[in-house]
């Protein structure tokens, strides 16, 4: 079987027909996804001239008579690399993890050639393989033919501006089944932010985008903010560990006033400051979709916490707020939680201010907040003056077991009695609320928190007590 990098001959009609038959015969393959992916698109769609690919196979008959392993071995021989045994062993699995395999651009090209006709892999991870611009091009060419891969991780691959151009040109087409792409740590700067803005303004297929650990600054933040105003697809955006700073922060936060799809936003480690907190607070008064917000380590002090709290007084959708590693003291933390108390429609389940040293007075004030919102958990630091006399509480599950043994019932019976849903599966917040309000077994907030961690170690947000 011959692979020719310089051969631009397209597949003949017989081959295209055979390819479509293979596509149809495998259409019942299981596809794993987390958020709603777009429907699979038929492969007979005409492709742009710019994506005429050097991944095409000269001998059309062998393309479908040769097994996947032989196809990959031929591709490795063509580009001159040693085959990856892990890839050969797992090419029939849905999840292919090739992180840290030292593939390089040529090894990535060999992988891409073999994936053109693969119908089983839906999640492809290639983090830290030094794939460079050449590897990115091979992958995008492959995705123009493969409509089964839905999740792609190419973080930490030295893609730089040329790689960003290749990827954003592909996203601009808005034709693949890809809904999740991780691009962390690829030296993307403000010039590439404009590329992502142009591509994602009209792209509605990408639901999950990770651009963390790059070099976007204020100008980049403004571009990405403009994108969020118009984008109607993104549900999760990770921009942590950039340098958006003041103007970028304000632009990004203002975009949340108009955006109607984003549910998860990580903007930690970006130097927002109090001005960014002001813009964020104003946005939270209006935004009705955001459920998870991480603004850890953003130079927010008590003033910023107060401004943010003003937004929390009106917000009805935010569930998780992480803001640890900010220079907030107990005064700012108290202002924040009291803002939540004043909002009877708040749906907050967790506030993380784990670096804040609080007082016993703060803890007593929390009891009043929990009375209004029993589903809420506030994670704070040590209580001043009580470190030396702190006593470990017994494990919650042991306390519950002691109770059920006396009552001659099972632990399952106990959980079922407090489960108003009656499904044996409860959202973590509802589970916390039920344990807080029941009076049969005395449990404090720390015990309940540890019990939830035990029953939901992967933080899925669902407690299955069966």
Exposure string over 154-180, b if 16+ CB within 10 A, otherwise e? bbbbbbbeebbbbbbbbbbbebbbbbb
The answer to whether residue 27 is domain-embedded is: no
Sheet with 377-380, edge to edge strand ranges: 95-97, 123-125, 151-153, 180-182, 208-210, 236-238, 264-266, 292-294, 320-322, 350-353, 377-380
Predicted local confidence at residue 465, as pLDDT: 84
Do residues 323 and 337 make contact, with C-beta atoms less than 8 angstroms apart? no
Confidence of residue 397 (pLDDT cuts 50, 70, 90): confident
Computed on alpha carbons and rounded to an integer, the radius of gyration of the chain in Å comes to 26
Sequence-ordered strand ranges (E) for 90-155 = 95-97, 123-125, 151-153
Kindly state the percentage of the chain with pLDDT values over 70.
84
Dump the DSSP string for 379-408.
Answer: EE-PBTT-STT--PPPPHHHHHHHHHHHHT
Burial class (CB in 10 A: 0-12, 13-18, 19+), 459: exposed
Total residues found in the chain within this entry: 466
The answer to whether residue 381 is domain-embedded is: no
The answer to whether residue 454 is domain-embedded is: yes
CA separation for the pair 287, 273 (Å, rounded): 21
Query: In the predicted model, what is the mean pLDDT of the chain?
Result: 87
| Average pLDDT, integer, range 454-465 | 89
- The DSSP letter of residue 125 is E
Predicted local confidence at residue 111, as pLDDT: 98
The answer to whether residue 452 is domain-embedded is: yes
Distances (CA, A) of 373 to 24, 272, 311, 446: 52, 29, 17, 16
The answer to whether residue 427 is domain-embedded is: yes
**Encoding tokens for residue 51?**
């994506």
Beta-carbon contacts of residue 406 (< 8 Å; ≥ 6 apart): none
The answer to whether residue 377 is domain-embedded is: no
Which CATH number is 427's domain given? Answer: 1.10.238.10
Predicted local confidence at residue 61, as pLDDT: 38
Confidence of residue 393 (pLDDT cuts 50, 70, 90): low
Q: Which helix (H) or strand (E) holds 219?
A: helix 218-230
Of residues 434, 420, 426, 433, the one with CA closest to residue 455: 426
Confidence of residue 321 (pLDDT cuts 50, 70, 90): very high
Predicted local confidence at residue 407, as pLDDT: 85
Confidence of residue 185 (pLDDT cuts 50, 70, 90): very high
| Average pLDDT, integer, range 343-361 | 96
Domain that holds residue 450: 396-464
**Total domain count for the chain?**
1
**What's the distance, Cα to Cα, between the start and end of the chain in Å?**
54
Tens-place pLDDT, residues 113-172? 999 999 999 999 999 999 999 999 999 999 999 999 999 999 999 999 999 999 999 999
The answer to whether residue 401 is domain-embedded is: yes
Beta-carbon contacts of residue 439 (< 8 Å; ≥ 6 apart): none
Q: Which helix (H) or strand (E) holds 209?
A: strand 208-210
Tens-place pLDDT, residues 218-273? 999 999 999 999 999 999 999 999 999 989 999 999 999 999 999 999 999 999 99
């Amino acid at each position: 079987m011959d692979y020719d990098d310089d051969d631009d001959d397209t597949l003949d009609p017989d081959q295209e027909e055979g390819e479509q038959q293979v596509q149809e015969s495998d259409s019942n393959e299981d596809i794993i996804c987390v958020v709603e992916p777009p429907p699979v698109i038929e492969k007979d769609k005409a492709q742009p001239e710019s994506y005429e690919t050097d991944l095409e196979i000269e001998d059309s008959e062998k393309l479908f008579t040769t097994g996947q392993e032989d196809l990959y071995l031929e591709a490795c021989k063509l580009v001159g690399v040693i085959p990856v045994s892990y890839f050969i062993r797992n090419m029939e699995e849905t999840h292919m993890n090739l992180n840290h395999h030292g593939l390089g651009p040529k090894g990535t090209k060999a992988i891409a050639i073999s994936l053109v006709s693969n119908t089983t892999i839906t999640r492809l991870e290639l983090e830290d393989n030094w794939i460079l611009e050449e590897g990115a091009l091979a992958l995008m060419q492959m995705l123009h033919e493969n409509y089964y891969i839905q999740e792609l991780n190419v973080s930490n691959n030295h893609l730089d501006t040329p790689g960003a151009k290749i990827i954003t040109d592909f996203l601009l087409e808005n034709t693949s089944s890809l809904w999740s792409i991780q691009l962390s740590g690829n030296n993307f700067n403000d010039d590439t932010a404009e590329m992502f803005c142009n591509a994602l303004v009209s792209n509605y297929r990408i639901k999950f985008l990770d651009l963390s650990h790059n070099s976007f600054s204020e100008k980049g933040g403004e571009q990405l903010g403009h994108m969020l105003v118009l984008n109607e697809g993104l549900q999760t955006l990770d921009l942590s560990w950039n340098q958006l700073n003041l103007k970028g922060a304000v632009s990004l936060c203002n975009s949340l006033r108009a955006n109607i799809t984003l549910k998860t936003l990580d903007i930690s480690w970006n130097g927002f400051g109090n001005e960014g907190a002001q813009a964020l607070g104003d946005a939270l008064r209006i935004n009705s979709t955001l459920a998870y917000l991480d603004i850890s380590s953003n130079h927010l002090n008590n003033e910023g916490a107060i401004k943010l709290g003003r937004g929390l007084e009106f917000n009805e959708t935010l569930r998780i707020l992480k803001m640890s590693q900010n220079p907030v003291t107990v005064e700012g933390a108290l202002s924040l939680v009291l803002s939540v108390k004043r909002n009877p429609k708040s749906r907050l389940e967790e506030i993380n201010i784990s670096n804040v040293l609080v007082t016993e007075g703060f803890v007593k004030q929390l009891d009043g907040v929990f009375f209004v919102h029993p589903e809420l958990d506030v994670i704070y630091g040590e209580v001043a003056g009580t470190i030396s006399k702190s006593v470990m509480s017994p494990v919650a599950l042991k306390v519950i077991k002691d109770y059920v043994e006396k009552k001659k019932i099972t632990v399952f019976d106990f959980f079922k009695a407090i489960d108003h849903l009656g499904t044996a599966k409860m959202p973590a917040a509802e589970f916390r609320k039920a344990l807080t309000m029941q009076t049969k077994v005395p449990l404090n907030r720390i015990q309940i928190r540890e019990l939830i961690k035990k029953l939901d170690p992967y933080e899925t947000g669902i407690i299955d007590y069966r």
